[in-house]
Structure 1
Amino acid sequence: MNRESIADLLAFIAVARERSFTRAAARMGVSQSALSHTIRALETRMGVRLLTRTTRSVLPTEAGERLLETVAPRLEEIDAELAAVSEMGSRIGGTIRITAIDLAVDGLIWPRLAPLLAAHPELRVEISTDYRMVDIVAERFDIGIRWGDQVAKDMIAVRIAPDMRQTIVATPAYLQANGVPQSPQDLARHSCITLRLASSGGLYAWELKQGEREMQVRVEGQAVFNGAYQMLHAALSGTGLAFLPQDLTEPHLQAGRLQSVLADWCPVFPGLHAYYPSRRQSSKALALVIDAIRLRG
């Protein structure tokens, strides 16, 4: 197989996985028209249509699905082996792609990775913040970072943070004006700052626990966000109650900018973990990144 065919197959894999010429072209750093021409040329050489194109989506045909399932993993294995051979030299390089929630990136991941990047100039990291439960294999991420109870059993998981207590917080001024909730049922009459779940599109129901009693409380309010820091800023502005990790709210609680309520109903969540598919696919660069972000002690 010539190099042109391999490049064309990689282009097809990118489009098939992204389900979009626009997103695939952006990822590959080429124009959409050039990518479309590449796919048409590949289909012509193979004598079969690989993608079904509509005005709204791009989907693999039966032949395209077979190509994606059989050829893509082999090309990725070759790419991984080439990277491993390259790393046999003294320099460590390549790109490690990470998907994480914003809380993990700002508070944990970046402070630990910055010194590593300074020590290895040829190493690059690409970090995507997302609250979806991302399929890191299908979307070609090297590492995922989520709460411990969200990690699939077939993944290798490395703890990067201790278990984390949640808090329900609001400004003293908001609580003085609207009253302090005494039970989870009282939350229904409050303006609560809510989180939009990217995976389902629904609003996150607050998971509360007191001893053996557990309940999910569906709350509403004027402000809906898809990230923890935006929710924190809204709480600090007096918009309402927010349900946030204590690590995020503690400095503001200590300074008196926020006040905690219903503390006996706030659960402890499993700590953040970094996870990846298989030790067989690990590279020296991946091992260095994992070691840099793991929890010490």
Structure 2
Amino acid sequence: MALPAQTQFFPLHPLLEPYVSVLVLTELKVTETGGYIDIFPVGYGVLSFIMDDTLPSFLDIDKSLPKFSLTGQLTRYYRHYFTPGNYRFFSAILKPYGAYRLLDTRQDAIVDNFIAIQDIIADGVAEFCDHMQTLSDQPEAGMRLLEQWLLHRLEVPVKQVKLNEIIAACRIIDAADGVKPIKEICTETGISKSSLERHFLEKIGLTPKMYSRIIRFNKVYQTLKFGTYNNWQDVVYKFNFYDQAHFINDFKSFFNYTPSEIHKSRLNSEGVLGSAG
């Protein structure tokens, strides 16, 4: 059973805004039948601290999340499975380059995977986790502690070769909904294709082409879920997908549903929007 989640958002310190999108507390109450949450590629990583002793697992790789972890970039759909119980996550939703800057680790090493923060950073992590655990009933204090830990990470020197150019490239791709040619991105950022790809892998975890695909597919997904259109095929062509069969296969690998299924689920919940496709 898919699980509904309750979320509480917290204000973000201005110094973290270049690297973190939002701080959020997520709470799940799982009944005796268990349940799951589907996750899919979104173009960024997530830093999470799990307050409870029972840890969720990736159903299809049979591996539990560490208590304090970084989930890297995803290139396909996954499912988090939860056994019965209550779960609370303190999370920092990162910018695409945020994990590299804050954790000083290559991002291509953890694509489609997650890693315990203690495997990246040795000093002070155990003490931080112990302190967080004492704040299980104080969500605001827990989030402030996580924020202070992130601010401390900003003080740690990181190699920033071409980081500004990669940040600029991400913003260009985002603004163009993932359809701008790589050659034009190189021209606008002033770096070669080989340099762009090398630094993208290190700092984002993906090639510029894959990152662009994820942004473009997410834009299609958001349009199908919330946008205005007559039929889902029009949305596909709007974002420059011309091989429909190939697009449907890739879309399902990202989201576990076909575009038609997304469209029909919206029809069922909101009434007729157009052709069911």
Question: Do the two structures share a fold, i.e. TM-score over 0.5?
Answer: no
What is the TM-score with the length of structure 2 in the denominator?
Answer: 0.30
Tell me which of the two structures has the higher relative contact order, counting C-alpha pairs closer than 8 angstroms and 6 or more residues apart. 1
What is the TM-score with the length of structure 1 in the denominator?
Answer: 0.29
